[in-house]
Copies of this chain bind each other. A is one copy, B any other.
Amino acid sequence: MAENVIAADKLEARLVANHFNAWMGLHIVSYTEDGIEIGMKWREEMISNPRLRITHGGIIGALIDTAADFAIAAKLGMPVPTVDLRVDYHRAAEPGDLVAKGRVVRLGGTNAVAEASVHDARDRLIASGRGVYFSAAAKS
Chain A residues within 8 Å of B, Cβ to Cβ: 17-21, 23, 44-50, 56-59, 61-63, 65-66, 81-92, 105-106, 108, 110-111, 113, 125, 128-130, 132, 134, 136
Q: How far is the CA of A57 from the CA of B24 in the complex (A)?
A: 13
What separation, in Å, do the CA atoms of A91 and B111 have in the docked complex?
12
Distance, CA A23 to CA B108, complexed state (A): 32
Determine how many copies of this chain the complex contains: 4
A110 in contact with B134 given A56-B62, A58-B66, A59-B58 (CB within 8 Å):
yes
Q: Are B56 and A18 in contact (CB under 8 A)?
A: yes
Residue pair B18, A86 in contact (C-beta under 8 Å): no
Per the bound structure, the CA–CA distance linking A117 and B18 in Å amounts to 24
| B85 A81 Cβ-Cβ under 8 A | no
Given contacts A18-B50, A58-B58, A86-B130, 14 further A-B contacts (CB under 8 A): A17-B50, A18-B49, A18-B56, A19-B46, A19-B47, A21-B56, A58-B61, A61-B61, A61-B87, A82-B89, A84-B88, A105-B125, A110-B110, A132-B132
